[in-house]
Amino acid sequence: MARSTGVLLSALADEAAFDLTAIEQFSALAAIGLEYYSLRFIDIGRGIKNVMQLSMSEIQKIRHLEDRYGLNVASIASPIGKVKLIDANDGTKNRYVPFQKYLEQDVKKACEFAHAFETKLIRGFSFYPPKGSRPEDHLEEAVDRIGRIVETCHRSDLTFGLEVEANLVGWNGDMLAEIHRRVAHPALVLVFDAANLVVQGCSEAEVYRQWTAMKPGLGWVHIKDYAKVPTRGRSRTGSHINEDSLRNFVPAGQGAGAHHKILKDLKAMLPSLSKKLERRGIPGVFLDLEPHVRGGGQFGGTSGPDGMGIALRSLCEVLDSSKVSYHLRDFDDLLAARGDRVPKKK
């Protein structure tokens, strides 16, 4: 059930596990009080797989375990859009897939999986331009492809969330805001991530400015922070970021991600944003923990069960100071789960 005056807490579950088994992931999240998770990598007994590689029998097993641990999927944390925009040898290991094939296979599969897990949200990205080129020079092509992805999602009654991240066409808030403006589709929202801007050299003030640019298209927020990068900042043309070399991720509120200011800002947006999302069948505004406190790279990160707990407590401290309401499991939830009548509070 949506809480129009608060946020819904979630986490990329694989971050809470060392071996990425479903039981380890779900045990860790249930123990710290979460009710939602985003699905990215998981081991259901046949080795670690990305969500896009799961079989229907594996999905059924995961759904059974979700019920057992009292969890629901917030979003399919897919890698849609993390492929080359152009088939060019640019010195990276990023793969290229002909777009029509990508649309008919990967995007449609992500939509099928979203329905299988009963979520309305698919997380994705804005394509890799050739390394060393100006992202702005590839904006038109990216907008065309993202628009077609979004329409495919819309036809399945789903919403596509475009995350800000280094090295992509949508490498900052300004570019994502422009993509959102040009696509102009109700099934497209933006996913803010402060650390993904700090790692590119953005100051706290610049992170907040990028947040402001993304606010009109906001759908949900990834929560991770990064210690201040001692540079003047990334230029408009940009330089390539080696994501696998990043080592200074910290819990929310302990880096240069401007989380206190951003979440105070979000509080004022919650009533209208929640209603907007609810009209698309989304239960509320998710804050999705992706802490990376033990390290992170291009396609994921690790926090461990203790790191996820630390990250959640830090986020709750920021939310409390910002007077943003949220819910963690309590004894009443436990009584309800075991079928007991919840006693009335005196």
Taking only the tens of pLDDT, the chain with its 346 residues reads 334 469 999 999 999 999 999 999 999 999 999 999 999 999 999 899 999 999 999 999 999 999 999 999 999 999 999 999 999 999 999 999 999 999 999 999 999 999 999 999 999 999 999 999 999 999 999 999 999 999 999 999 999 999 999 999 999 999 999 999 999 999 999 999 999 999 999 999 999 999 999 999 999 999 999 998 755 444 444 578 776 657 789 999 999 999 999 999 999 999 999 999 999 999 999 999 999 998 776 677 889 999 999 999 999 999 999 999 999 999 888 888 878 766 665 5
Cβ–Cβ contacts within 10 Å for residue 237, how many? 11
Cβ–Cβ contacts within 10 Å for residue 174, how many? 16
Residues 102 and 109: their CA atoms lie apart, in Å, by 10
SS3 323: coil
Query: pTM for the whole thing?
Result: 0.93
Sorted by where each begins, the domain ranges of the chain are 8-337
Give the per-residue pLDDT at 336: 85
Residues 243 and 154: their CA atoms lie apart, in Å, by 31
Residues 31 and 263: their CA atoms lie apart, in Å, by 25
Task: Supply the angle between the helices 56-69 and 22-31 in degrees, to the nearest 10.
Answer: 30
75 φ, ψ (degrees, to nearest 5): -155, 155
Strands (E), 109-199: 121-124, 159-163, 188-193
Residues 154 and 111: their CA atoms lie apart, in Å, by 10
Residues 142 and 145: their CA atoms lie apart, in Å, by 5
The DSSP 8-state label assigned to residue 325 in this structure reads B
- The first and second tokens of residue 25, run together, are 């992931």
Strands (E), the chain: 8-11, 36-39, 41-43, 48-50, 72-77, 121-124, 159-163, 188-193, 218-223, 225-226, 249-250, 286-289
Question: Domain spanning 8-337 has what CATH number?
Answer: 3.20.20.150
Give the per-residue pLDDT at 237: 42
CB 279 within 8 A of CB 204: no
Give the per-residue pLDDT at 295: 77
Facing residues of 49 across strands?
42
First-last CA distance in the chain: 24
Residues 120 and 158: their CA atoms lie apart, in Å, by 5
Residue type, 332: D
- The first and second tokens of residue 43, run together, are 């081991």
CB 204 within 8 A of CB 233: no
Give the per-residue pLDDT at 231: 56
Residue type, 26: F
